[in-house]
């Protein structure tokens, strides 16, 4: 028999949304098995329905498809009566998961060098500016370190729900705000994911990332030093006309450097791949 909503035994008192099923993780959740086949179990309490299909749907919307690097494998529902349920979601390593990486580098356009050799007694000093003409600094394209990596997981169909797909969508184009896969905050960009359903049982999902190193300090000129540039922040230099007292002419030189935060930060734990 369902407990009447006016009863003090019904979790959550009267008010809007009383018919909405509630699902919360229990205090005794997350027992860990660190053996040869590691596993974690998340325990949940659900209430406000005797309908098993509705309870299962709420659990699927709440439990993550991936947790601490492990894939959701199965779950059980244990009815307690009165519209209250206990649920147990099991996570383990699935043998079909795979990883790949690519360190072939990337290209970036730079307008400033880290050192210059000048030849000619009257050659103007542009203080590291590259390709200077009377009204602009052309710069040059160079190859820089670039690290791309991906992980592929096979996830039970029931966990690849609308909520989780929306999380993947919203996280695309975000940068990590905490340590992720041994990379420091600010170094990893989530490039998005691709997924396809395999038969009736699961989805094959590939998660794609790119990494760019943080830089503690960059010295461009004696008066311009950039500190703590995070990997995916955009840096540019401002140039203006200054007097070269040796060459006796007006030249283009760097006046200042700017670091722009162009990507939002996010907690990559929401991807379910662990830290």
DSSP conformation letters of 137-179? B--EEEEE--EEEEEEEEEEGGGS-HHHHHHHHHHTT-EESS-
Taking only the tens place, the pLDDT of each residue in 243-259 is 998 888 899 999 999 99
Give backbone dihedrals phi and psi of 258, rounded to 5 degrees, phi first: -135, 140
Mean pLDDT of all residues belonging to the chain: 87
Q: Say if residue 21's pLDDT is above 60.
A: yes
Taking only the tens place, the pLDDT of each residue in 160-209 is 888 899 999 999 999 999 999 999 999 999 999 999 987 667 889 999 99
Q: Do 88 and 4 reside in the same domain of the chain?
A: yes
Q: Do 6 and 139 reside in the same domain of the chain?
A: no
Q: Do 151 and 271 reside in the same domain of the chain?
A: yes
* Domain termination residue (choose one: 64, 93, 122): 93
* Domain termination residue (choose one: 49, 75, 93): 93
Closest of 155, 177, 176, 191 to residue 63, by C-alpha: 155
Taking only the tens place, the pLDDT of each residue in 112-132 is 898 889 888 788 899 889 999
Name the pLDDT band for 16 (thresholds 50, 70, 90): very low
3-state secondary structure of 200: coil
Print burial letters for 240-256: b (CB count within 10 Å at least 16), e (below 16): eeeebeeeeeebbbbee
Q: Do 140 and 174 reside in the same domain of the chain?
A: yes
Domain count, the chain: 2
pLDDT at 12: 43
Q: Do 36 and 114 reside in the same domain of the chain?
A: no
Distance CA 254, CA 252 (A): 7
Which range is least confidently modeled, 134-138, 165-169, 187-191, 235-239?
A: 134-138
- Average pLDDT of 24-36? 85
Name the pLDDT band for 18 (thresholds 50, 70, 90): low
pLDDT at 256: 94
* Domain termination residue (choose one: 61, 78, 93): 93
Q: Say if residue 9's pLDDT is above 50.
A: no
pLDDT at 43: 95
Q: Do 82 and 150 reside in the same domain of the chain?
A: no
Which range is least confidently modeled, 20-29, 139-148, 249-258?
A: 139-148
Query: When comparing pLDDT for 60 and 13, which is higher?
Result: 60
Percentage helix, strand, coil for the chain under 3-state DSSP, each rounded to 5:
10, 45, 45
Q: Do 1 and 126 reside in the same domain of the chain?
A: no
Query: What domain range is 85 assigned to?
Result: 1-93
* Spatial contact of 84 and 26, defined as CB atoms under 8 Å apart: no
Taking only the tens place, the pLDDT of each residue in 62-109 is 998 888 878 888 899 999 999 999 999 999 876 567 888 888 878 889
Closest of 256, 240, 221, 218 to residue 132, by C-alpha: 240
Q: Do 134 and 1 reside in the same domain of the chain?
A: no
- Burial degree of 268 (CB within 10 A; 0-12, 13-18, 19+): buried
- Burial degree of 137 (CB within 10 A; 0-12, 13-18, 19+): middle
Q: Do 140 and 33 reside in the same domain of the chain?
A: no
Q: Do 10 and 104 reside in the same domain of the chain?
A: no
């Amino acid at each position: 028999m369902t407990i009447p909503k006016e009863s003090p035994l019904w979790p959550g008192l009267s008010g809007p949304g009383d018919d909405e099923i509630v699902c919360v993780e229990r205090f005794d959740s997350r027992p860990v098995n660190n053996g040869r086949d590691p596993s974690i179990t998340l325990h949940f309490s659900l209430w406000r329905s005797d309908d098993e299909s509705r309870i299962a749907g709420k659990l699927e919307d709440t439990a993550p498809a991936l947790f601490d690097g492990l894939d959701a494998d199965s779950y059980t529902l244990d009815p307690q009566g009165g519209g209250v349920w206990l649920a147990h979601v099991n996570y383990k390593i699935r043998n079909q998961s795979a990883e790949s990486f690519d360190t072939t580098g990337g290209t970036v356009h730079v307008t400033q060098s880290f050192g210059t050799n000048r030849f000619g007694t009257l050659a103007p000093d542009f203080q590291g500016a590259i390709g200077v003409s009377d009204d602009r600094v052309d710069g040059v394209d160079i190859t820089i370190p670039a690290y791309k990596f991906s992980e592929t997981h096979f996830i039970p169909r029931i966990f690849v729900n609308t909520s989780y797909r929306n999380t993947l969508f919203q996280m695309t184009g975000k940068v990590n705000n905490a340590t992720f896969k041994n990379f420091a905050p600010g170094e990893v960009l989530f490039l998005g994911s691709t997924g396809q359903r395999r038969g009736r049982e699961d989805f094959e999902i590939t998660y794609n990332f790119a990494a760019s190193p943080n830089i503690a300090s960059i010295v461009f000129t004696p008066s311009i030093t950039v500190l703590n540039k995070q990997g995916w922040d955009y840096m540019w230099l401002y140039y203006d006309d200054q007097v070269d007292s040796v060459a006796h002419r007006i030249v283009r030189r760097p006046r200042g450097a700017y670091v722009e935060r162009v990507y939002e930060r996010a907690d990559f734990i929401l991807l379910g791949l662990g830290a």
